[in-house]
Amino acid sequence: MAGLKLDIFFAFLLYVSVVSSPACCIARLVDQLNYKASSCKHVPLFVFGDSYVDAGNNNYINCPEINRANYFPYGESYFEKPTGRFSDGRTMADFIAEHANLPLLPPYLQPGLDDYYDGVNFASGGAGNLEETFQEYHVLSFKTQIGHFRKVVQWFINKLGNDEGKKAISNAVYLFSCGGNDYLSPIFSPFQKHLPYSDSEYQELVFGNLTQHIKEIYDLGARKFAFMNLPIMGCLPAMRIYKPETNGSCYEEMSSKTRTHNQALSRILFELSNNLNGFHYSLFNLVGTMRKIMNHPKKYGFKDGKSACCGGGRFRGIQNCGQDENFELCESPEDYMFWDSYHPTERAHQTFADIMWNGSSRSFISMVGPYTVEQLFQIEVAGNTNPIDYIKNTSSSSQKYFD
């Protein structure tokens, strides 16, 4: 009976608006009513970052083939065609969306896209925290991605009105994968090979930009952030063959930068959570998870944790997957942690996303915190500032995971 009265009320409200309001106001009211009818625990997901979560934005920008994934065999395992994802199938962002009962999020640059109720993917392969990172590839930098997000915020406000639009933005979850390219670009980019900075000075630049970007997104209304630390950079198949004198071992210089970055990321997020009202975050220990699989692949359901499924040369560390006739392709990508010389397989992405979502895997203990991503989706934000009705991951302290 209560539901019937509510339906009658909404119908009456719509009738009054139709006879007394201009067409633009009527359209907004219809959007608001439709949104309210479907928004019971409906939480959008917005994705920022690099090729680990790119859904295909690089398909629509003028970047070279090496920085796109819109050709065979990319996408073969799930989509049976290339989509622009740097994997044989879905990515962590896709699996998180599925866990949240959302559709796979489209890339922001997809032509004709005009609906953002469920969220959208801004990520771009090659992007970094620094504007200069791989800019010769014309990638969408973190700063550019935030510019696109500003337009989406305005879209929500235009569609739902100021209060409901801001509430939707504040209740959304924001997923980030960013930082690795800031350390790869000085190695491979001719524009960054001779930077006048020490390692510590360069990292300060990276984190200065990252902190600024997080605060910008926070100022636009975001309150629930999901991060992952850097992957196992020094042990990527491409890095194992970068220095021949290492004889296939991990590249220690890159591993050292990864450790320093990840320690700083943990500290900075902890500080932001103490200084920004309503800032809640999840940090996934991606490097630790990858190290476990690399060292004991069979224990975690893989057969190979060091070599790529697709590529050339030793460890298939040459990044030529699908790009020339000399590339090699394994028979079973699900047996490998790495799809190509830099990126995980769909199977690995699913493993990572499952841990991020609920942190309940007995094989990967203490790899996410202080919240799981599932808990972030459960947090309800009143207006655009005050969090209510949430469950903290009380089994851990805020910095327990982030070494």
Torsions phi, psi for 325 (to 5 deg):
-75, -10
- Give which of 56, 102, 101 is closest to 75, Cα–Cα: 56
* 266 catalytically annotated: no
Of 88, 340, 341, 398, which residue is the catalytic one?
Answer: 340
**Residues in the chain, overall count:** 403
Q: Kindly state the DSSP code that residue 104 receives in the 8-state scheme.
A: P
Of 213, 261, 280, 343, which residue is the catalytic one?
Answer: 343
Residue with tokens 């209740």: 171
Residue 77, amino acid: S
* 340 catalytically annotated: yes
Residue with tokens 């690399």: 294
Residue with tokens 């990515």: 91
- The C-alpha atoms of residue 335 and residue 315 are separated, in whole angstroms, by 14
Of 31, 50, 51, 349, which residue is the catalytic one?
Answer: 51
CA gyration radius, the chain: 22
The answer to whether 185 touches 133, Cβ cutoff 8 Å, is: yes
The interaxial angle of helices 92-99 and 346-358, nearest 10 deg, is 50
Residues acting as catalytic residues: 51, 340, 343
